[in-house]
Structure 1
Amino acid sequence: MTSKTLLLSLLLITTSRLLSGAGATSFSCSGDDRCHSLIGYIPPKPTTIAALQSLFQINPRRSLLTANSLPISTPPSFSLPSHSPIRIPIPCLCSNATGLSNHRPIYTVRTHDNLNAIARRIFNGFVTIREIADANNISDPDRIEVGRRLWIPLPCSCDEVDGKPVVHYGHVAAEGSDLESIAEEFGTTERVLMRVNGIQDPTSLQAGQILDIPLPVCSSSINTDALDSRLLLPNGSYTLTANNCIFCSCSSSTWQLDCHATQGMSKSTCPVAKCGNLLIGNTSTTSCGVSSCSYSGYINNNANNFTILTNLTTPTTCNRNEKVPLNINMLIMITIIDANNV
Structure 2
Amino acid sequence: MSSKTLLLSLLLITVSHLLSGAGATSFSCSGDNRCHSLIGYIPQKPTTIAALQSLFQINPRRSLLTANSLPISTPPSFSLPSHSPIRIPIPCLCSNATGLSNRRPIYTIRPRDNLDAIARRIFNGFVTIREIADANNISDPDRIDVGRRLWIPLPCSCDEVEGKPVVHYGHVAAEGSDLERIAEEFGTTERVLMRVNGIQDPTSLHAGQILDIPLPACSSSIKTDAIDSRLLLPNGSYTLTANNCILCSCSSSTWQLDCHATQGMSKSTCPVTKCGNLLIGNTSNTSCGVSSCSYAGYIINNNANNFTILTNLTTPTTCNNGSSPVSQPSGSSKRIGFQKCIWMEVLVMFFWFLFPMRMIG
8 Å CA contact 2:28, 2:157 repeated in 1: yes
Cα drift, residue 11 of structure 1: 1.9
1:293 to 1:181, Cα distance in 2 relative to 1, 3 A: same
Cα drift, residue 288 of structure 1: 1.8
Cα drift, residue 17 of structure 1: 4.1
> What CA distance in whole angstroms lies between the structure 2 residues aligned with 1:227 and 1:125?
35
Give the match's secondary structure for 2:357: strand
Instruction: Report which of the two has the higher share of helix.
Output: 2
8 Å CA contact 1:132, 1:151 repeated in 2: yes
- Ranges in structure 1 where 5+ consecutive residues have no aligned partner: 321-329
> What CA distance in whole angstroms lies between the structure 2 residues aligned with 1:278 and 1:335?
46
Give the match's secondary structure for 1:94: strand
8 Å CA contact 2:133, 2:139 repeated in 1: yes
Cα drift, residue 19 of structure 1: 7.8
What's the CA shift string for 1:131-190, capped at 9, x where partnerless?
000000000000000000000000000000000000000000000000000000000000
What's the CA shift string for 1:182-211, capped at 9, x where partnerless?
000000000000000000000000100000
> What CA distance in whole angstroms lies between the structure 2 residues aligned with 1:80 and 1:74?
12
What's the CA shift string for 1:199-256, capped at 9, x where partnerless?
0000000100000000001000000000000000000000000000000000000000
What's the CA shift string for 1:13-39, capped at 9, x where partnerless?
725743871100000000000000000
What's the CA shift string for 1:295-332, capped at 9, x where partnerless?
00004434511110000001123399xxxxxxxxx999
1:20 to 1:208, Cα distance in 2 relative to 1, 3 A: closer
1:332 to 1:303, Cα distance in 2 relative to 1, 3 A: farther
8 Å CA contact 1:135, 1:153 repeated in 2: yes
Cα drift, residue 285 of structure 1: 0.2
Percentage of pairs with the same residue: 91
Which stretch of structure 1 is more off in the superposition, 12-21 or 299-308? 12-21
1:170 to 1:336, Cα distance in 2 relative to 1, 3 A: farther
1:108 to 1:307, Cα distance in 2 relative to 1, 3 A: same
> What CA distance in whole angstroms lies between the structure 2 residues aligned with 1:161 and 1:29?
11
1:284 to 1:210, Cα distance in 2 relative to 1, 3 A: same
1:187 to 1:208, Cα distance in 2 relative to 1, 3 A: same
1:266 to 1:200, Cα distance in 2 relative to 1, 3 A: same
What's the CA shift string for 1:64-119, capped at 9, x where partnerless?
00000000000000000000000000000000000000000000000000000000
8 Å CA contact 1:69, 1:237 repeated in 2: yes
> What CA distance in whole angstroms lies between the structure 1 residues aligned with 2:131 and 2:39?
17
1:284 to 1:66, Cα distance in 2 relative to 1, 3 A: same
Cα drift, residue 294 of structure 1: 0.2
> What CA distance in whole angstroms lies between the structure 2 residues aligned with 1:285 and 1:147?
64
1:336 to 1:247, Cα distance in 2 relative to 1, 3 A: farther
8 Å CA contact 1:29, 1:97 repeated in 2: yes
> Which residue of structure 1 lines up, in the alignment, with residue 355 of structure 2?
332
1:265 to 1:319, Cα distance in 2 relative to 1, 3 A: closer
Structure ID, larger Rg: 2
Give the match's secondary structure for 1:335: helix
Cα drift, residue 335 of structure 1: 44
1:300 to 1:197, Cα distance in 2 relative to 1, 3 A: farther
1:68 to 1:255, Cα distance in 2 relative to 1, 3 A: same
8 Å CA contact 2:47, 2:81 repeated in 1: yes
What's the CA shift string for 1:248-303, capped at 9, x where partnerless?
00000000000010000000000110100000000000102110000000044345
Cα drift, residue 3 of structure 1: 6.0
> What CA distance in whole angstroms lies between the structure 1 residues aligned with 2:56 and 2:359?
29
Count of residue correspondences: 329
> What CA distance in whole angstroms lies between the structure 1 residues aligned with 2:270 and 2:16?
57
8 Å CA contact 1:309, 1:332 repeated in 2: no
> What CA distance in whole angstroms lies between the structure 1 residues aligned with 2:290 and 2:67?
32
8 Å CA contact 1:19, 1:130 repeated in 2: no
> What CA distance in whole angstroms lies between the structure 2 residues aligned with 1:50 and 1:267?
31
